[in-house]
Structure 1
């Protein structure tokens, strides 16, 4: 369960966009009128949606001109079962006022690179956890590379002017399970892979339940050539994991690992910890707790929630990219909790409650926290989503971001009103981050078949 839940099946949730830092900031969508189909009689379903909002990007402290847009966002989703589905659509912003790019009708920063055209594909799923091979294309939100000690809670849409489509590949061959990913399938950016070897399978043959005792090797490299140029970086990590409790609804595991930065002497880190997964039809809970050691600038979770901004300018007083930033030697405690609850056992991505929080506290006084909570109320007619990020809290130069969205469905649920708002950081050509904000209100309509 622990290994496979990180694979393609969990990625089906991303067929529905989630609240992000960029100004479009969509929330989880609902399908209240469609009951879960029986697996044996699964039919094709499609969903069409159109949203129109007034949207403003508002720089702080008078830096640049305020910009206002009318945003039109069409979406088409086709669900062909557990092994196929796609989601197409993108926000198109027509200028109302402001800007300093010659008065272009459409916001130029949304489409000025090849990578930006990846936003048209919000989800393409081929295969599943039950298939030998699975492939996913679309946005990455809170992405974790298997063990999560290099890539954890990573989003490729934190930069509001960069809209890539990521890709994830999973494959099983005998005792070997592999996950590989690219943060941008149209540009030279973050790529990585983790190879997980089932030790029990090697010595005693294929077990009834695989993945109980594993050794895993992962490596991640950032080319730094798309979404703005930034220093390249390569990290590697070795992990061992043992599942000590394995039931149909409960799984507990222990882990230990060591990682480093190839080519950088003395840059290493170690980790020990454990986790619990409790999964039922209506309630899911995943808990992780780890003790970590960092030395020579290496740290676990290097490619995390803040990475798409930190690659230009890390949180802290130095004002340099994360690859060059000073990171003190020390210890830390990391915890993560993911809780999902649905009152009607719908089984899809739309839960009455969805909470995801990760936090790391360092021995030298720094704390990093990011989280998201989404609730559906009044028979799913009201949705509220909040997201927050704090990096370097307790130290000078700390970074804070926040976003919120509210959706209210009426007239039978097909029509809804929405409002969003939050803070942003825009990377500049000088390698700094320009603070800003966004706000929008509008209407949407969708149709489910």
Structure 2
């Protein structure tokens, strides 16, 4: 459980979008049937069309309003734990505004090869139980195994850049490998982590894999696709030991050291631990760490804010993250993932889903990001909130937020939706232009 393999987590995106799942009529009966005999593979599909008004609004005199009609078709084919495909993308037809010659379709959504990756929302081949697994699609809160280089990363934070990422997982004896690319159609962020099962090496195949591991990870940003920005390479070495193992629960400790190859004074160290508790109705993951940063290196460098910070980091300097001054010091990091459901149907969409991460630095800075979603009234109503605050407590702090509401009616096949939030648009000058968005509309699908 402590690995939290990303291929399996990402595969959940293949299922119906938020608010689209419905409670099965008899979960207890299904559970008893499953325990009696392995279930045959079942193929499920979902079709969906959403039509909404969509307005991009400037802030602080940044330009003219832009208005669109957005049509978002979706087709999902779910073939079980080892195969699934989700295709479709929002297309925005202009109603007014814009400085790109009045094109019918918003040009920034489709002006690079990487943008065509948004047509594939999810494609999974294999699973965590298979020797090899592959997944393509959007990355949201992605973590590369130990998470000390890539943690809570999203490749869609830039609103004009819509790449498809790729994740590869593989197991060969005592070696477990995870590799990823943030953009499979462009030269951008790539990374890999190799994890050795020490118990397997010393004593042969263990009863439980991954109790004592030594891992090496590295990540490199080419800085080309999605707008040119400085490149960066980081590496990290991690050791982890699972100290407590009980049914549905693990507790572990970890320690690590990382740095920037070629930069002898850029390094960092970390010590901490965590608890994973998983059950049919309630999942809890907690992690606490004490960190040391020196020479500009920091853990979680490729994080929630990275796709904006690579152009302009939060703070008063107004320079890319690779060139920004990051003081030497210490920090405390905490992360919590909570999922609760009133029924034991095993689906990804819960009555409550909460994910939050925060880091407080000894020199006064605080970074925090999170999201929460709740389903009410027999899953007919869903409310989701997310927020990001970087550099809080210091000049030049950055804040972003968004909210979404979906309400299903007429038996659940038709739903109304509304979203609103703030955005930052990278410009050709390397700065970030503030903006906002708002949208209301209707959708229809065969989820129920």
TM-score by length of 1: 0.96
Q: Deviations over 1:66-95 (max 9, x none)?
A: 100000000001110000001001000000
- Tell me the distance in 1 between the aligned counterparts of 2:252 and 2:329: 25
Show the counterpart of 2:181. 182
What's the secondary structure of 2:195's corresponding residue? strand
Show the counterpart of 1:129. 128
Are 2:366 and 1:367 equivalent residues in the alignment?
yes
Show the counterpart of 1:353. 352
- Tell me the distance in 2 between the aligned counterparts of 1:182 and 1:94: 30
1:366-405 → structure 2 map (5 Å cutoff): 366-405=365-404
- Tell me the distance in 2 between the aligned counterparts of 1:252 and 1:353: 23
Are 2:40 and 1:50 equivalent residues in the alignment?
no
Task: Give the Å deviation of 1:28.
Answer: 2.1
Show the counterpart of 1:31. 21
1:291-370 → structure 2 map (5 Å cutoff): 291-370=290-369
- Tell me the distance in 1 between the aligned counterparts of 2:396 and 2:47: 44
Show the counterpart of 2:98. 99
Show the counterpart of 1:280. 279
What's the secondary structure of 2:263's corresponding residue? coil
Task: Note if contact 1:16-1:29 (Cα within 8 Å) is conserved in structure 2.
Answer: no
Are 2:14 and 1:2 equivalent residues in the alignment?
no
Task: Give the Å deviation of 1:33.
Answer: 6.0
Q: Deviations over 1:126-174 (max 9, x none)?
A: 0011100000000000000000000000000000000000000000000
Task: Give the Å deviation of 1:247.
Answer: 1.8
Task: Give the Å deviation of 1:65.
Answer: 1.4
- Tell me the distance in 2 between the aligned counterparts of 1:246 and 1:313: 44
- Tell me the distance in 1 between the aligned counterparts of 2:19 and 2:415: 11
- Tell me the distance in 1 between the aligned counterparts of 2:390 and 2:135: 29
- Tell me the distance in 2 between the aligned counterparts of 1:286 and 1:110: 36
- Tell me the distance in 2 between the aligned counterparts of 1:345 and 1:426: 42
Question: CA 1:40–1:414 in 2, change beyond 3 Å: closer, same or farther?
Answer: same
Show the counterpart of 1:208. 207
Task: Note if contact 1:135-1:170 (Cα within 8 Å) is conserved in structure 2.
Answer: yes
Q: Deviations over 1:320-358 (max 9, x none)?
A: 000000000000000000000111112111110000000
Show the counterpart of 1:22. none
- Tell me the distance in 1 between the aligned counterparts of 2:324 and 2:13: 33
Task: Give the Å deviation of 1:29.
Answer: 4.0
Show the counterpart of 1:24. none
What's the secondary structure of 1:43's corresponding residue? coil
- Tell me the distance in 2 between the aligned counterparts of 1:427 and 1:345: 44
Show the counterpart of 2:116. 117
Show the counterpart of 1:21. none
- Tell me the distance in 2 between the aligned counterparts of 1:133 and 1:7: 13
- Tell me the distance in 1 between the aligned counterparts of 2:390 and 2:163: 23
Are 2:67 and 1:68 equivalent residues in the alignment?
yes
Task: Give the Å deviation of 1:62.
Answer: 2.2
Task: Give the Å deviation of 1:10.
Answer: 1.8
- Tell me the distance in 2 between the aligned counterparts of 1:257 and 1:198: 16
Give structure 2 stretches of 5+ with no counterpart: none
Task: Give the Å deviation of 1:34.
Answer: 5.4
- Tell me the distance in 1 between the aligned counterparts of 2:292 and 2:349: 37
- Tell me the distance in 2 between the aligned counterparts of 1:56 and 1:9: 35
TM-score by length of 2: 0.96
- Tell me the distance in 2 between the aligned counterparts of 1:135 and 1:122: 14
- Tell me the distance in 2 between the aligned counterparts of 1:239 and 1:201: 17
Task: Note if contact 1:244-1:253 (Cα within 8 Å) is conserved in structure 2.
Answer: yes
1:154-303 → structure 2 map (5 Å cutoff): 154-303=153-302
Task: Note if contact 1:162-1:227 (Cα within 8 Å) is conserved in structure 2.
Answer: yes
- Tell me the distance in 2 between the aligned counterparts of 1:129 and 1:248: 19
- Tell me the distance in 2 between the aligned counterparts of 1:72 and 1:33: 28
Task: Note if contact 2:6-2:144 (Cα within 8 Å) is conserved in structure 1.
Answer: no
Q: Deviations over 1:375-416 (max 9, x none)?
A: 000000000000000000000000000000000000000000
Show the counterpart of 2:85. 86
Task: Give the Å deviation of 1:31.
Answer: 2.1
Task: Note if contact 1:406-1:420 (Cα within 8 Å) is conserved in structure 2.
Answer: yes
- Tell me the distance in 1 between the aligned counterparts of 2:128 and 2:40: 20
